Amino acid sequence: MKTLHIFAQTNICSYIMRAQNYDKYPAIPVEGSVCLGWELIRKKLHSCASGPLFVDYYTGVFEEDMARELGSGFARVIRMRDYMKPEAAVRSLTERFMTDDVLFGHVTCLQLEDFFDGKKLCTLKEELKGAGKDTLVIGTGAALVMPEGATLVYADMARWEIQQRFRRHQVCGLGVDNREDPVSIQYKRGYFIDWRVLDQYKDTLFTKVDWWLDTNTATEPKLISRASFLEGMAKAARRPFRVVPFFDPAPWGGQWMKEVCDLDRSTPNFGWCFDCVPEENSLLLEVDGVKVEFPSVDLVLTHSTELLGVPVEGRFGKDFPIRFDFLDTMGGGNLSLQVHPTTQFIREQFGMAYTQDESYYLLDAGEGATVFLGVKTGVDKEAMLEDLRAAQRGEKSFEAQKYVNQLPAKKHDHFLIPGGTIHCSGANAMVLEISATPNLFTFKLWDWNRLGLDGKPRPINVERGSKVIQWNRDTEYVHAHLANHFEPVARGEGWEEIRTGLHPAEFIETRRTRFSGTAPFRTADSVQVLNLVEGEEAVVESPEGRFEPFVVHYAETFIIPACVGDFTIRPCGLASGKECMVIRAFIRFNA
């Protein structure tokens, strides 16, 4: 705790200022009105439906509560779950994608129709052609049996809220009651099967949904119109925006984010902040003064070309390929020693198109901060692997410093970590992790004799890790190619830009721009992700007036859609007349 005390005393003044500014609930203002509460929502839907009402939804909603609240006043309530295949058949259908691994599955190729009894579904569809206003059809897949012109409601669900409900064992998977499964198994089914199937299905519904329902806060349901929803997505696709950051404790977590981001001081630590992972984060629309929450992947699905850019969409489809997140070990401990798979391995083993190449940008660093990166030159490969296996069996501690380079780390350092590179952040560091999007594929090799937050050992993957460690990434290689390679690329009046990476094996390019005046940028038809890594405030503006000025604060990550074209950033507010810095990531096509 001595380190934490020194850390807190030396930084508390700047923390107070920054904690007042960091926006944890950024929202996009949208025209329209909101129905709040089940009674008003029920009345609104009853009044607008000219025939049967269809309520479709993502997994993770509280099905029984919704059926009870919306079913009142209907003579007939049809539950789509009753038309699915038996649970045993669904488990058999999905077994090859779940695999027997505790963490990793294989990306599914299934579609939603595969989960239903085809004959029952066809019969129901015919029956509903003549149904009246006294019929409610509710459940995932309701739109599959909806006649043309019927009223459709979609209850969407943010993945981070789904994961909280996993932890409380409250919700079922697609076609299975897996509430009693370990959280890791529930997440695996969601990641490899359910969310893949339902995102593909939801992508067919955006032009059909009449009303969008937000039940992320179960006691505060909110309903908005199709027009408000689509306006929100369209506005986000044409201007800078932020997704909703999500903070989570970790076994190694620290104290920095509590102060800078103004988080709950009673929580022991916060290790993670996911502040640009559109598959996981939420997007808030502010409608008539009320914030309504939707998965930010909805924006990727509805406006992929405008958001990503033609070249990026052509390469990645409707996947957002850049991820920013925080790893806070200030006053905490080392991350697990780990390695990410190579591209070939992740394709063959898990069905993923690309791997989790990444980098560590030091947003801040305390005394003695270090980063473990690459193997030491001349390391005995077999001896290292045997020591890792012995540590995994609990026979000894692994001497990481004997085998892995431990580099001193200071504020604004940048360490590149292409797949296959052994690495971890040490204690007393505040890392902005910039990486490709796959966010599950970490092979932990050593966890410092530490238990997870659930009091159990975290899964170790020495054997998988041994198949992907790039042993040629040794001390000389790390210094020559991975640690702090800064190259000036452009400068003008009041600004200077340097290239900080990434490695040639990685498809993400990063640039850091220092500015005291107005710095010019161009998207060049690629989505841009930025973080204000120095300075209290800055404003993003369009020279052509394409969007309203957008203010960002210290440590906030923000996204610039590809279609924005030219934009500028300059200090403002508390930072007026001072120097600021942003780190910027985009997709590299000329490597």
CATH number at residue 530: 2.60.120.10
Distance between CA atoms of 60 and 204, rounded to whole angstroms?
Answer: 20
Q: How far is CA 367 from the centre of its chain?
A: 30
Residues 216 and 269 both lie in one domain: no
Our CA angle for 546, 434, 10, nearest 5°, is 100
Residue 374, Ramachandran bin (φ over 0: left; ψ between -120 and 50: alpha; else beta): left
Residues 225 and 255 both lie in one domain: no
pLDDT of residue 438: 63
CATH number at residue 145: 3.40.50
**pLDDT tens, 299-351?**
999 999 999 999 999 999 999 999 999 999 999 999 999 999 988 888 888 88
Which strands form 487-492's sheet, in the order they lie side by side?
A: 487-492, 495-501, 508-515, 580-587, 528-534, 557-560
Element (H, E) at 197: helix 195-202
Residues 379 and 491 both lie in one domain: no
Residues 388 and 428 both lie in one domain: yes
Residue 296 lies in a domain: no
pLDDT of residue 13: 42
Element (H, E) at 402: helix 400-403
Distance between CA atoms of 183 and 357, rounded to whole angstroms?
Answer: 26
Residues 437 and 492 both lie in one domain: no
Residue 406 lies in a domain: yes
Give the domain-ending residue among 208, 234, 260. Answer: 234
**pLDDT tens, 132-164?**
899 999 999 999 999 988 999 999 999 999 999
Check if the beta carbon of residue 562 is closer than 8 Å to that of residue 527: yes
Residues 229 and 333 both lie in one domain: no
In the chain, the number of structural domains is 3
Looking at the DSSP bridge assignments, the partners of residue 272 are: 248, 327
Where does 22-142 have alpha helices with state H? 38-48, 63-71, 87-98, 118-128
Residue 295 lies in a domain: no
Is the C-alpha dihedral spanning 36, 42, 43, 44 positive or negative?
positive
Residues 72 and 194 both lie in one domain: yes
Residues 89 and 136 both lie in one domain: yes
Residue 287 lies in a domain: no
Residues 541 and 467 both lie in one domain: no
Residue 266 scores a pLDDT above 60: yes
Residue 308 lies in a domain: no
Residues 223 and 344 both lie in one domain: no
pLDDT of residue 457: 78
Strands (E), 80-163: 135-138, 151-156
Q: Which domain holds residue 534?
A: 487-587
Give the domain-ending residue among 479, 498, 520. Answer: 479
Residue 559 scores a pLDDT above 90: yes
User: What is the pTM (predicted TM-score) of this model?
Assistant: 0.93
Q: Which amino acid is at 83?
A: Y
pLDDT of residue 550: 98
Residue 170 lies in a domain: yes
Our CA angle for 28, 29, 30, nearest 5°, is 115
Distance between CA atoms of 36 and 14, rounded to whole angstroms?
Answer: 39
DSSP secondary structure letters along 205-272:
TTTT-SEEEE-SSTTS-EEEEHHHHHHHHHHHTTS-B-PBPEEE--TT-BSHHHHHTT--TTSS-B-E
**pLDDT tens, 220-255?**
999 999 999 999 999 999 999 999 999 999 999 999
**What DSSP state is assigned to residue 282?**
E
| Pair of tokens at residue 399 | 């001497």
Q: Per-residue pLDDT averaged across 277-300, rounded?
A: 95
Residue 426 lies in a domain: yes
State the pLDDT confidence band at 104, using cuts at 50, 70 and 90: confident
Of all residues in the chain, the percent with pLDDT exceeding 90 is 83
Tokens 């920054």 sit at which residue?
18
Distance between CA atoms of 466 and 470, rounded to whole angstroms?
Answer: 9
Tokens 């790039």 sit at which residue?
470
Q: Spell out a b/e string for 136-145, using b for 16 or more CB atoms within 10 Å of the CB, else e.
A: bbbbbbbbbb
Distance between CA atoms of 135 and 91, rounded to whole angstroms?
Answer: 31
Taking CA atoms, 319 is separated from 312, 357, 436, in Å, by 9, 15, 11
**pLDDT tens, 438-473?**
667 889 999 999 988 777 778 888 999 999 999 999
pLDDT of residue 247: 96
Give the domain-ending residue among 169, 199, 234. Answer: 234
Residues 221 and 260 both lie in one domain: no
Residue 285 lies in a domain: no
Residues 34 and 157 both lie in one domain: yes
In three-state secondary structure terms, 380 is: coil
